[in-house]
Amino acid sequence: MSLATATAAATAAATAAATVAAARSVRAPLPVLGRDVTVPLVTGGEVGYAALDYAASAPALQRVWDDVAAYAPYYGSVHRGAGYLSQLSTELFENARRTVAEFLDCRTDDQLVFTRSTTDSLNLLARALPAGCQVFVFETEHHAGLLPWQDARVTYLDAPRTPQQAVAALARALADRDPRGPALVCVTGASNVTGELWPVRELAAAAHAHGARIVLDAAQLAPHHPLSVQDLDVDWVAFSGHKLYAPFGSGVLAGRADWLRAAEPYLAGGGASRKVARREDGGVDVEWHAGAARHEAGSPNVIGAHSIASACKALTEAGFDSLVARERHLIGKVRAGLADVPEVRILSLFGDEAPRVGVISFVVEGWNSSHFAAALSAEYGIGVRDGLFCAHPLLRALLGSDPTTRGECGAPEAAPGEKSLNAVRVSFGAGTPDEHVDRFVTAVRELVREGAKWQYRTEDGRCVPAV
Residue 259 and residue 111 in contact, taking contact as beta carbons nearer than 8 Å? no
Residue 218 and residue 253 in contact, taking contact as beta carbons nearer than 8 Å? no
* pLDDT the model gives residue 461: 78
Amino acid at 420: S
* pLDDT the model gives residue 273: 87
Q: How far apart are CA 157 and CA 180, in angstroms?
A: 21
Query: Nearest to residue 360, comparing CAs of 421, 409, 425?
Result: 425
Q: Is 106 labeled as catalytic in the residue annotation?
A: no
For 130, other C-beta atoms within 10 Å of its C-beta total 14
Q: What is the pLDDT of residues 242-295, one digit of tens each?
A: 999 999 999 999 999 999 999 999 999 988 988 999 998 989 999 898 999 899
pTM above 0.95, yes or no: no
* pLDDT the model gives residue 407: 55
Query: Nearest to residue 361, comparing CAs of 406, 331, 340, 318?
Result: 331
CA atoms within 13 A on the CB side of 368: 21
DSSP-H helix ranges across 319-463: 320-339, 369-380, 392-399, 434-450
Beta bridge partners of 113: 253
Query: Nearest to residue 358, comparing CAs of 214, 261, 220?
Result: 220
- What residue ranges of the chain have pLDDT lower than 50? 1-26
What value, to the nearest 5°, has the Cα angle with vertex 279 and ends 274 and 280? 160
What value, to the nearest 5°, has the Cα angle with vertex 138 and ends 391 and 218? 70
Edge to edge, the sheet with strand 423-427 lists: 344-346, 359-364, 423-427, 385-387
Q: What is the pLDDT of residues 145-202, one digit of tens each?
A: 999 999 899 999 999 999 999 999 999 999 999 888 999 999 999 999 999 999 999 9
* pLDDT the model gives residue 128: 97
Beta bridge partners of 238: 217, 253
DSSP 32: B
Q: Residues in the chain, how many?
A: 467
* pLDDT the model gives residue 409: 52
Residue 86 and residue 77 in contact, taking contact as beta carbons nearer than 8 Å? yes
Q: Could you tell me where the beta strands, DSSP code E, fall in 41-102?
A: 46-48, 50-51
Q: How far apart are CA 219 and CA 251, in angstroms?
A: 9
Query: Nearest to residue 384, comparing CAs of 12, 134, 54?
Result: 54
Which H helix or E strand runs over 15? helix 3-23
Q: How far apart are CA 171 and CA 160, in angstroms?
A: 13
* pLDDT the model gives residue 14: 42
* pLDDT the model gives residue 105: 98
Dihedral over alpha carbons 78, 83, 85, 89 (to 10 degrees):
20
All residues at 6 or more sequence positions from 456 whose CB lies less than 8 Å from its CB, including other chains: 371, 374, 375, 378, 416, 463, 464, 465, 466
Q: How far apart are CA 14 and CA 239, in angstroms?
A: 24
* pLDDT the model gives residue 20: 39
* pLDDT the model gives residue 8: 46
Beta bridge partners of 111: 255
Q: How far apart are CA 30 and CA 20, in angstroms?
A: 11
Beta bridge partners of 217: 188, 238
Residue 414 and residue 364 in contact, taking contact as beta carbons nearer than 8 Å? no
* pLDDT the model gives residue 417: 61
Identified catalytic residue from 186, 312, 390, 463: 390
Q: What are phi and psi of 132, to 5 degrees?
A: 80, 10
Residue 194 and residue 138 in contact, taking contact as beta carbons nearer than 8 Å? no
For 5, other C-beta atoms within 10 Å of its C-beta total 10
Query: Nearest to residue 114, comparing CAs of 129, 102, 101, 103?
Result: 101
Helix axes 62-71, 302-318, angle to 10 degrees: 140
Alpha-carbon distances of 363 from 127, 338, 350, 426, rounded to whole Å:
38, 10, 17, 11
Q: What are phi and psi of 27, to 5 degrees?
A: -85, -5
- What is the residue-wise DSSP string for 251-268? EEEEE-SHHHHHSPPSS-
Alpha-carbon Rg of the chain, whole angstroms?
23
